[in-house]
Amino acid sequence: MPRFAANLSMLYPELDFLDRFEAAARDGFRGVEFLFPYDCAANELAARLRANGLQQVLFNGPPGDWGKGEKGLACLPGREREFRDGIARALAYAAALDCPRIHVMAGLVPAGTEPREVRGTYVANLRAAAADAAKQGVDLMIEPINPRDIPGFFLNRQDDAHALIAEIGAGNVKVQMDLYHCQIVEGDVATRIRRYLPTGRVGHFQIAGVPQRHEPDVGELNYPYLFDVIDDVSAQCGWDGWIGCEYRPARGSRPGGTTAGLGWLAPWR
């Protein structure tokens, strides 16, 4: 049976961020994820998790200057020091939140740089970060993101992510397989799950309806079928990770809007 985590950056937009923990627990979630914890004290977040019986399953490393459009630093030549400091900061939060996974966003390919230099920077950065994370027993996630949502993002495809992981050569670097992005870029989602999940290199799933990124029961992907595929493959290979619900509720910020849209979860709760 898949385990679902509420993405608190996207779900419950009708509530203040810190109030979303309680709402997720009330709706039956046992795990949560979010993008960035850095505006909140780690002990405040840890207290919310504890008070609501929740497990932190994932958050993102610092992405650079998000307000100026940066989407990660991993592939950016010349920003290595900042990248490494960001990983140290993320690992401190991971320790405080007892979180086993950090998503390391790749970044936008800088204009005018050689593809070989960008790839080399990415591989070297991930290798160094993976060594730091391994000391703490933390896995690093890399996520292919569709270029319509983030034009110019370094990593778009599942096969590229798996090739990069082979090159990085660290056992704690894994793919965050976001089925929303995967469908937009590549399709053939069930076959890709069956191909990649048994490799042991998929650390986390995320879901949303395609194309609007609303609830998973709206759109072109048949999620009940895909959940059965994940269940089936997991039973064979022993995968026991989480599926992050990373979608924008169709009812937006209307009071109760997220909860009202969770009908799709009932058979899986």
Ligand X SMILES: O=C(O)C(=O)[C@H](O)CO
Give the catalytic positions in this structure. Answer: 143, 246
Binding flag, residue 101, ligand X (CB under 6 A): no
Residues 20, 12: Cα–Cα separation, whole Å: 6
Identified binder of ligand X from the candidate list 178, 207, 230, 243, rule CB under 6 A: 178
SS3 46: helix
Using an 8 Å Cβ cutoff, are 30 and 13 in contact? no
Binding flag, residue 185, ligand X (CB under 6 A): no
**Which residue number, 66 or 268, has a Cβ lying nearer to ligand X?**
66
Answer with the entry of Mg ion, ligand X, none that 33 interacts with (C-beta below 5 to 8 A by kind): none
Answer with the entry of ligand X, Mg ion, none that 14 interacts with (C-beta below 5 to 8 A by kind): none
Identified binder of ligand X from the candidate list 60, 125, 156, 258, rule CB under 6 A: 60
Amino acid (1-letter code) at residue 245: C
Answer with the entry of Mg ion, ligand X, none that 20 interacts with (C-beta below 5 to 8 A by kind): none
Residues 216, 205: Cα–Cα separation, whole Å: 13
Q: Which stretch binds Mg ion (CB under 5 A): 46-54, 127-135, 222-230, 246-254?
A: 246-254
142-201: which residues touch Mg ion (CB under 5 A)? Answer: 178
The region that residue 98 occupies, defined by phi over 0 for left and psi between -120 and 50 for alpha, beta otherwise, is left
Binding flag, residue 206, Mg ion (CB under 5 A): yes
* Residue 227 Cα distances to 30, 64, 100, 162, 224, angstroms: 18, 34, 23, 22, 5
Helix (H) or strand (E) holding 32: strand 31-34
Least distance to ligand X, CB of residue 125, Å? 17
Residues 79, 71: Cα–Cα separation, whole Å: 13
Interface ranges with ligand X (CB under 6 A): 35, 60, 103, 143, 145, 178, 181, 206, 246
Interface ranges with Mg ion (CB under 5 A): 178, 206, 246
